[in-house]
Structure 1
Amino acid sequence: MLSTIQHSRIFKTAIIMSAIIALVVSIGFSVAFGAADIHLSTVWEAIVHFNEDLTSHQVIQELRLPRAVAAALVGAFLAVSGAVMQGMTRNPLASPSIMGVTHGAAFALVITMAFFPAASNSAMTFTSFAGAGTAVVLVFMVGSFSKSGLTPVKLALAGVAIGTLLTSVTSVIALYFQLEKQLGFWKAGGLAGADWQANKVLLISGAIGLFIALMIAKSITVLNLGEDVAAGLGQNNVLLKILGILTVLILTGAAVSVAGSIGFLGLIIPHITRFMMGTDYRWIIPVSALFGALLLVLSDIVSRLINAPFETPVGAITSLIGIPFFLYLARGKNGGGQS
């Protein structure tokens, strides 16, 4: 008879295989559905036997396929970033959007657009990394300004405060330099501008960020037993947090530079993953990547079909899912604190 552990591994493996199949199918539907629907067989032909003389093949290869791939990568990056942040801070409300990381990236991007309008895509990506890093440093500094030190609640409050401040300054700069349209696109979140060049940036960033995330996954699991316990087991918690922050900066910076602000995805997915996979981050991180990719690809499909032929910002779709989830979590935390 199979042991409980073996049953658990079979269950987790089945979830992973199902998620992979669902992701591949959803990407296929994402490429097929749009302003003009394309048959799935045509999608397959355009991928394996591309004919540049056919307009449908050009639409698939140059517009829809890179967009679907970008949606999968951005979703995976934001989900993994949220999982790492929640694991490091032991704060169930931590995510790139709530902790001010995306706001810092937006601030840096607006500064670049205002003073260096001819900046390349690579430069924009670098500045989004720098802005995200600045926001993280500010959040940790503000959250640490107390005798009791940094706690998960103070970290969340500091993230909201810094995010609000950066958003206000960003809006003022955008208004002064007449960048409201570009900022509006960024705030709404969208994948219409994704192309193969953007995907190259995502792939390179993802290779680095996901490698670090998987490398520290076991240490994050140990950290969740408590910092004293982790330190007693010989773990360097300071180095772990530095690597974790670096992971979040790389993944979130790349995602934001391509898709703008996609809220709540990094909050929702880690919770769903922990519910299904347990508390071991060696499972949580890769499965969060799959679930995040799947959710954003599906959200992107909905964003294009819900009000066709017009396109609804994909960030609005994820927010419709995420805001009730956030309120549920906040209510649960408050209820727990009172009992």
Structure 2
Amino acid sequence: MVLLVVVLLVSLAAGSKATSVPDVVTALRGQGDVHLQAVVESRIPRTVLGLVVGGALAVAGVIIQGITRNPLGEPGLLGVNVGAAASIVTATGFLGLSAGSATVWTALPGGLLAVLVVYLVGGHRSGGSVVPLVLAGAVVSAFLGAYIQAVTLTLPEVFDGYRYWVVGSLAGRDLSAVVEILPFVAVGTVVAVALAPGLNSLALGESTAVALGTRTGRVRAVGIGAATVLASAATAAVGPVAFVGLAVPHVVRSLVGSDHRWTLPYSLVLGGVLLVAADVVGRVVARPQEIAVGVVTAFVGAPFLLLAVRRMRAGT
């Protein structure tokens, strides 16, 4: 939480115009230079949005890794992100929607449909094995990725809007984007926390979980639904942002262990910290221009993941 507060203050201070943290605190109190207050207020929406989106992606990553028992699991593993992107491309190309004005209701149908197809193809009668589920996710993701390329290359006006949205960026968003996705993120997070005991049982193996009385099918279905809502809301708000859902659960497990009652809330906080920190880096390194947060997350997240893997190996 201390790290979170520090990152939020730095995010409000960083930008094309450098501002000190004491000046930020003064501006938040409604004191000091009026122009400085306006600059700080303009940075609040992207900071809050980064916090919410990063937490949503991290919690979705914990759920997917817990359900599939795959350390490389993330929402994209089951086609959630590419399904949401395909839904937005369809609305942009055939319904006249601008990619920059994509809403949760635009992205959610594609994410849900992609996951439903993956579950029906690979998980419906898999006998508890997660391998068919993962393979089905890869096939659906490849198909939808080809569909997105076909639409964007065929319709230049779709490509012009989509190429800015697809890199993932917090720039140009206001608090209305936060208000729109916050109910979805809140519901998805509450469901995830409620599933923590079931996810702990799944971590012990299919047969052990069943012996403990866990309804594994229900846990998987509800967990996949929660992860889909979280990832689709995040994707609609800022575009596809990779690596957060993959790296953050590893870092958290290296700190607090594998108990999902701890990993879920810690991931919620650390996911927001990571995404806001990546946004700060993107604003600073190319000043006065900026690099989209979706580009920076790979560079910021990779060292975290490598550190987590090394610590996990040291503990075995």
TM-score of the pair, normalised by structure 2: 0.88
Q: Which of these residues, 31, 34, 38, is aligned with residue 54 of structure 1?
A: 34
Deviation at 1:197, TM superposition (A): 0.3
Deviations 1:237-295 (A, max 9, x none): 22212221121122111100111111111011111111221121000100111111111
Q: Secondary structure of 1:179's match?
A: helix
CA distance in structure 1 between the aligned counterparts of 2:139 and 2:304, rounded to whole angstroms: 21
Q: Secondary structure of 2:103's match?
A: helix
**Which consecutive residues of structure 1, in runs of 5 or more, have no partner in the other structure?**
1-19, 331-339
Deviations 1:197-220 (A, max 9, x none): 011123212221111111111111
- Tell me: CA distance 1:319–1:161, structure 2 relative to 1, closer, same or farther (3 Å): farther
2:7 touches 2:276 (CA, 8 Å); kept in 1? yes
Which residue is equivalent to 2:25? 44
CA distance in structure 2 between the aligned counterparts of 1:225 and 1:29, rounded to whole angstroms: 41
Deviation at 1:323, TM superposition (A): 6.3
Specify the code of the residue in structure 2 equivalent to 1:156: V
1:77 touches 1:252 (CA, 8 Å); kept in 2? yes
Specify the code of the residue in structure 2 equivalent to 1:58: A
Deviation at 1:222, TM superposition (A): 1.2
Deviations 1:28-85 (A, max 9, x none): 111111011123233223323278x923222222x21110111111111100000001
1:26 is aligned to 2:7: yes
Q: Which of these residues, 134, 148, 155, is aligned with residue 156 of structure 1?
A: 134
CA distance in structure 1 between the aligned counterparts of 2:124 and 2:27, rounded to whole angstroms: 57
1:239 is aligned to 2:223: no
**Which consecutive residues of structure 2, in runs of 5 or more, have no partner in the other structure?**
310-316
Deviation at 1:122, TM superposition (A): 8.9
Q: Which of these residues, 266, 286, 290, is aligned with residue 307 of structure 1?
A: 286
Q: Which of these residues, 72, 77, 91, is aligned with residue 112 of structure 1?
A: 91
Which residue is equivalent to 1:206? 185
Which residue is equivalent to 1:175? 153
CA distance in structure 1 between the aligned counterparts of 2:102 and 2:292, rounded to whole angstroms: 25
Deviations 1:122-165 (A, max 9, x none): 9721121111111112222333498x656334433332322122
Deviation at 1:166, TM superposition (A): 0.8
Deviations 1:84-142 (A, max 9, x none): 01101111111013332100000001111222235899972112111111111222233
Question: RMSD over aligned Cα, in angstroms?
Answer: 2.7
- Tell me: CA distance 1:122–1:185, structure 2 relative to 1, closer, same or farther (3 Å): closer
CA distance in structure 1 between the aligned counterparts of 2:56 and 2:115, rounded to whole angstroms: 17
1:112 touches 1:124 (CA, 8 Å); kept in 2? no
Specify the code of the residue in structure 1 equivalent to 2:28: I
Deviation at 1:312, TM superposition (A): 1.1
1:32 touches 1:40 (CA, 8 Å); kept in 2? yes
Aligned residue pairs: how many?
Answer: 308
Q: Secondary structure of 2:169's match?
A: coil
Specify the code of the residue in structure 1 equivalent to 2:34: L
Specify the code of the residue in structure 2 equivalent to 1:39: S
- Tell me: CA distance 1:130–1:122, structure 2 relative to 1, closer, same or farther (3 Å): farther
CA distance in structure 2 between the aligned counterparts of 1:119 and 1:34, rounded to whole angstroms: 27
Deviation at 1:180, TM superposition (A): 1.2
Which residue is equivalent to 1:16? none
- Tell me: CA distance 1:121–1:324, structure 2 relative to 1, closer, same or farther (3 Å): closer
TM-score of the pair, normalised by structure 1: 0.83
Q: Secondary structure of 2:166's match?
A: helix
Which residue is equivalent to 1:15? none
1:258 is aligned to 2:237: yes
Which residue is equivalent to 2:313? none
Once the two structures are aligned, what percentage of the paired residues are identical?
Answer: 34
CA distance in structure 2 between the aligned counterparts of 1:144 and 1:150, rounded to whole angstroms: 8
